[in-house]
Amino acid sequence: MLRPLNPIVKSSIIAMLFLAFNTLLAHNPDQSYLYFRVYQDNIEGTIEMTIKDINKALGTEIDPSPYFKEKNAEIEKKDLPQAWQQYAPQLKEYLLSKVDIKAGNQQLNLNFNDLEILPLSKAVYILYNFDLQPLSVTPEELQINYEVLFDKDDIHRGLTIIEHNWKAGIINNESVSSLIFSPSDRTQTLSLSDNSMWKGFVALIKLGMWHIYIGIDHIFFLLALILPSVIKKRNMADRLQIEGVDRFKPAILYILKIVTLFTIAHSITLSLAALGYISLDSRIVESIIAFSIGLAALHNIYPIFNRSESLITFLFGLFHGMGFASVLGEKGIEGDYLAFSLLGFNIGVEIGQALIVLAIFPILYFLRKKPYYRKILVYTSIFLIIASLYWCIERFFEVDFLLDNYIGKAINKVFKIIGLK
């Protein structure tokens, strides 16, 4: 029988529980887009937001479901539905209050004109086109203050993309972001005098790292996989016998094997999904990702069959790759810089993943010989199984439990009070 939990173990599990419910909605990219098309004597642009985000920002209840793109249908922009015309003035007023652009000391006005929609299978975007006025010559840079939805959603990010700038050698770019705005980084400078390829590449790396941070299900899967890295191999006859490794080498080799297999697997499907070669219902993908956490955690407590860690890691890593692709998805992953964009995002994912392992593994190695490490392994795995079941039900049946909202709001308030937000 397991003894009462050590206070250190209790604190660790409570901390993980807080982190989990603070980011329960994994794989919701929560991104809006600010596009620029730079010409010799004028600059055009577009602000793109999902209907979900517009409803959140304006307090409206617009239903996008009749306009979702049918499977295998061609993606094309369409005129704004007549029924949605009534929301145009409200949206225009909101965007004017949240987006501010200057060229040096000159204030530039967003002269909004036509509205379009871009129906996708997972979301419907509203595209609000504008001209920057007044401009006599194209400036070298723009100072942008972007605050769209930051007062409503701490996870939201605003991606700025230079779609066209012939002078800088940018043609038909819809993938590489030059800037990424966040609640803590709302004012930035956009250079129009160079192609910003390196800056865009770094921005995609940061986006990949950010997705790991908000993708708590990926973190939980990694945690389930590395928990047994510091214990000796168990066979089918002594499943509950747990003993820490004597040397560092076996533990680090296990970590390298697991991380390498996971990286290879999710890189394969991330690339294939983003390029459009494979496509699965997001409900199924997200449900399988949730299931993978529980299966890996159960294997820690009661090994399912010998040497199955590699199989679990690679097989479910393929589905995690499709989950990573959802942050790029159908939006912003096309054009001439697609490969460049994919590489940057994937590097960011790997850096984020490596940092998580580097943070957790030394602690596990230090505690491996402690008498309570078995409790850490068992209770953490039980917690992961519970989280897995919760997500499986929520994602497969497409339900939103009110528990998410209440706990998320409470934890956000705590984080703000102690200065973490």
In a domain, 52, yes or no: yes
pLDDT at 238: 54
pTM for this entry = 0.66
pLDDT at 297: 93
In a domain, 270, yes or no: yes
Same domain, 195 and 239: no
- The answer to whether residues 119 and 66 touch, using CB atoms and an 8 Å cutoff, is no
Same domain, 174 and 248: no
Q: What is the mean pLDDT of the chain?
A: 81
Residues of the chain with pLDDT under 70: 1-29, 71-74, 167, 169, 171-172, 195-197, 199-200, 233-241, 305-307, 327-338, 401-421
Same domain, 174 and 73: yes
- The answer to whether residues 144 and 188 touch, using CB atoms and an 8 Å cutoff, is yes
What domain count does the chain have?
2
pLDDT at 204: 77
Same domain, 242 and 330: yes
| Residue 333: domain span | 7-26+215-417
Same domain, 200 and 219: no
CA separation for the pair 131, 111 (Å, rounded): 5
In a domain, 1, yes or no: no
- Angle, CA of 260, 382 and 265, to the nearest 5°: 20
Same domain, 235 and 348: yes
Same domain, 256 and 188: no
pLDDT at 16: 42
- The answer to whether residues 389 and 25 touch, using CB atoms and an 8 Å cutoff, is no
Q: Summarize pLDDT for 65-87 with one digit per residue, the tens.
A: 888 877 666 678 889 999 999 99
DSSP 42-108: -EEEEEEEEHHHHHHHH------GGGPPPTTPPP--EEPPGGGGGGHHHHHHHHHHHEEEEETTEEE
Out of 165, 181, 206, pick the residue that ends a domain. 206
DSSP 196-226: -HHHHHHHHHHHHHHHHHH-HHHHHHHHHHH
For residue 26, CA distances in Å to 215, 244, 327 come to 5, 33, 10
In a domain, 308, yes or no: yes
For residue 104, CA distances in Å to 162, 181, 336 come to 19, 20, 31
In a domain, 2, yes or no: no
Same domain, 80 and 12: no
Kind of pairing between the strands at 124-133 and 179-181:
unpaired
Same domain, 156 and 228: no
Same domain, 362 and 400: yes
In a domain, 348, yes or no: yes
Out of 178, 206, 234, pick the residue that ends a domain. 206
pLDDT at 342: 82
